[in-house]
C-alpha cells in the first residue's frame, strides 16, 4: 500500500533527527512492502525566513491530504524577538489546531538499559511501584488544542501600568474526548488513570473533575484517581512507578511531560503522538490523523554537530505506524531495533550514564546511532 507522510524537519536539530526517522521508515517499508511517499513541508523559523510566516497555508493544506505528519522541532534564538503571532511556535499551535490533533500521547518509561541515566535512586524508583521493581512506565495524555494555549489573551494599559492576560478555557466536550483517549490507552495498559488538575483553585479544573467523574463510570475496569498538579509534580519524582496513564490539560501536560522526560534518562528519548478522532474529516482508513514528533525542542546549540539523539524521532515514527497507519508489528520492530542498539551499549551523549563510564557504553554521534538502528532493521 501507498501512504503519504508530510514531513516538517523544522529548525535546529529537527531536520537532522527527522532524516533518520525517514530513513528508518524507508527500510521498514522496503522490508514489509509499504511505500511511503514523503512530502517535505515548511514550518517554523525556516518558513519565516522563506515566506515571512511561520505556517504557510500550503503546509497546512498539503498536510491535510496526508495520513500523518512527521515533525522535527521549531524555534530558535534567531526568531525569539518577533511578536507572538509571528514566532515559530505559532506554527506548532497552528498545525495542532488546524489538523485537529486534540490528544497528545507522551509515553515516558525508564528502559532498563538507561537506568544509569535516570537521576532517581533505586529506593525512590521502587517506592509505590506495584511490582517493586526500580523502574516506571507511564503515559501522559495531554489535551492539545484547548486551554490557556488557545484561550483569549491580550494586554491592557491602565495609565502607566501595563497588564497582560491569558485565559484557561475548556468545554465539557473537549475534556470528555481527551479523557476517552486516556481510558482507551489505560485499558490496554495497567488499567489506572489519574486526572491531574488544580480543582482546588481553578473553575476550569473543577469542570475537568466533574466530567471525569461522570465518564469514569463508563470504565468500571479502570481505576480512576485525581491529583492536583502541584502534588503530581512532586509524586512524579517521589515515586513515578505509581502512575500508569495521566490525563491533563494542555499547560499542565506540557510541564509534567518535561519533568517526566528527565526521569526517563533524557528528553532525547521521548517520542510523542498527537492524534485527532478516527472519524473526523482528516482520518484515513478509519485511523486518526496524527502529528508525530520528538518532545525535545530544536536545541539550536547542538544543531549540525552530529550530537543530537535521533532516537526520539525514530520512536515517533514507530508511534506513527501504530496509531495512524495501523502497523503494530512494524512499530514494534522499530522499538525493538532501538532497544537492541542500546543493549549493545551505544549511547548519544544525553543518555550516557551519570557516573563514570563503567557500563561498557560507547558514546556515539547522531549518524552512528541512526545507522545502528538501520542495521538492526535490515
| Cell numbers describing residue 318 | 514507530
Enumerate residues 61-80 that contact ligand IPM by CB under 6 A. Answer: 75
Q: Which residues pair with 224 in a beta bridge?
A: 193
The least distance separating Mg ion from the CB of residue 93, rounded to whole angstroms, comes to 12
Number of C-beta neighbours around residue 173 at 10 A: 10
Task: Just list the catalytic residues.
Answer: 149, 198, 230, 254, 258
- Residues 6 or more apart from 314 whose CB is under 8 A from it? 17, 20, 21, 24, 271, 334, 338, 370, 373
Instruction: Give the residue with the Cβ less far from Mg ion, 29 or 94.
Output: 94
Instruction: Give the residue with the Cβ less far from Mg ion, 137 or 254.
Output: 254
254 binds Mg ion (CB under 5 A): yes
293 binds Mg ion (CB under 5 A): no
Number of C-beta neighbours around residue 162 at 10 A: 9
| Cell numbers describing residue 262 | 528527565
**CA 34/CA 1 separation, integer angstroms:** 5
**CA 298/CA 253 separation, integer angstroms:** 19
The least distance separating ligand IPM from the CB of residue 83, rounded to whole angstroms, comes to 15
Instruction: Give the residue with the Cβ less far from Mg ion, 72 or 370.
Output: 72
The least distance separating ligand IPM from the CB of residue 89, rounded to whole angstroms, comes to 4
166 binds, among Mg ion, ligand IPM, none (CB under 5 to 8 A by kind): none
16 binds Mg ion (CB under 5 A): no
The least distance separating ligand IPM from the CB of residue 172, rounded to whole angstroms, comes to 23
Question: Which residue in the set 89, 166, 223, 335 belongs to the binding site for ligand IPM (CB under 6 A)?
Answer: 89
Burial class, 89, CB count within 10 angstroms (exposed 0-12 / middle 13-18 / buried 19+): middle
137 binds, among ligand IPM, Mg ion, none (CB under 5 to 8 A by kind): none
Instruction: Give the residue with the Cβ less far from ligand IPM, 254 or 361.
Output: 254
315 binds, among Mg ion, ligand IPM, none (CB under 5 to 8 A by kind): none
With left for phi above 0 and alpha for psi between -120 and 50, is residue 44 left, alpha or beta?
left
> Contact letters (x/-) for ligand IPM, 247-266, by CB under 6 A?
-------x------------
Q: Which stretch binds Mg ion (CB under 5 A): 59-67, 96-104, 251-259, 328-336?
A: 251-259
The least distance separating Mg ion from the CB of residue 140, rounded to whole angstroms, comes to 11
Question: Which residue in the set 55, 92, 199, 346 belongs to the binding site for ligand IPM (CB under 6 A)?
Answer: 92
With left for phi above 0 and alpha for psi between -120 and 50, is residue 318 left, alpha or beta?
alpha
89 binds, among ligand IPM, Mg ion, none (CB under 5 to 8 A by kind): ligand IPM
Number of C-beta neighbours around residue 217 at 10 A: 8
Q: Which stretch binds Mg ion (CB under 5 A): 228-236, 252-260, 328-336, 354-362?
A: 252-260
Number of C-beta neighbours around residue 77 at 10 A: 11
Enumerate residues 203-242 that contact Mg ion by CB under 5 A. Answer: none
The least distance separating ligand IPM from the CB of residue 254, rounded to whole angstroms, comes to 4
Q: Which residues bind ligand IPM (CB under 6 A)?
A: 75, 89, 92, 254, 295, 297
Amino acid at each position: 500500500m501507498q501512504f503519504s507522510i508530510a514531513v516538517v524537519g523544522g529548525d535546529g536539530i529537527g531536520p537532522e533527527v527527522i532524516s533518520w526517522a525517514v530513513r528508518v521508515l524507508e527500510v521498514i517499508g522496503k522490508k514489509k512492502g509499504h511505500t511511503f511517499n514523503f512530502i517535505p513541508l515548511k514550518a517554523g523559523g525556516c518558513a519565516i525566513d522563506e515566506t515571512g510566516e511561520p505556517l504557510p497555508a500550503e503546509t497546512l493544506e498539503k498536510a491535510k491530504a496526508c495520513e500523518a505528519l512527521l515533525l522535527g522541532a521549531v524555534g530558535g534564538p534567531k526568531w525569539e524577538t518577533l511578536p507572538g503571532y509571528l514566532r515559530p511556535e505559532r506554527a506548532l499551535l497552528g498545525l495542532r489546531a488546524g489538523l485537529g490533533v486534540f490528544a497528545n500521547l507522551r509515553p515516558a518509561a525508564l528502559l532498563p538499559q538507561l537506568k544509569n541515566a535516570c537521576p532517581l535512586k533505586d529506593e525512590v524508583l521502587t517506592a509505590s511501584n506495584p511490582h517493586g521493581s526500580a523502574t516506571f512506565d507511564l503515559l501522559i495524555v495531554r489535551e492539545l488544542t484547548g486551554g490557556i494555549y488557545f484561550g483569549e489573551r491580550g494586554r491592557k494599559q491602565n495609565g502607566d501600568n501595563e497588564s497582560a492576560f491569558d485565559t484557561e478555557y475548556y468545554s465539557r466536550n473537549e475534556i470528555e474526548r481527551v479523557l476517552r483517549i486516556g481510558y482507551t490507552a489505560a485499558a490496554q495498559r495497567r488499567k489506572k488513570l489519574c486526572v491531574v488538575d488544580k480543582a482546588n483553585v481553578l473553575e476550569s479544573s473543577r469542570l475537568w473533575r466533574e466530567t471525569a467523574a461522570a465518564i469514569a463510570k463508563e470504565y468500571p475496569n479502570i481505576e480512576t484517581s485525581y491529583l492536583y498538579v502541584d502534588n503530581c509534580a512532586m509524586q512524579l519524582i517521589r515515586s513515578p512507578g505509581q502512575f500508569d496513564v495521566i490525563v491533563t490539560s494542555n499547560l499542565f501536560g506540557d510541564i509534567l511531560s518535561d519533568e517526566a522526560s528527565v526521569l526517563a534518562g533524557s528528553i532525547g528519548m521521548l517520542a510523542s503522538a498527537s492524534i485527532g478522532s478516527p472519524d473526523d474529516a482528516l482520518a484515513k482508513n478509519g485511523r486518526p490523523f496524527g502529528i508525530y514528533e520528538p518532545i525535545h525542542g530544536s536545541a539550536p546549540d547542538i544543531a549540525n554537530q552530529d550530537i543530537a539523539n535521533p532516537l526520539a524521532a525514530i520512536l515517533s515514527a514507530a508511534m506513527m505506524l501504530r496509531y495512524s497507519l495501523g502497523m503494530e508489528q512494524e512499530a514494534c520492530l522499530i522499538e525493538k531495533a532501538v532497544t537492541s542498539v542500546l543493549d549493545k551499549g551505544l549511547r548519544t551523549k544525553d543518555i550516557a550514564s551519570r557516573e563514570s563510564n563503567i557500563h561498557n557504553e560507547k558514546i556515539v554521534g547522531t549518524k552512528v546511532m541512526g545507522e545502528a538502528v538501520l542495521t538492526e532493521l535490515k
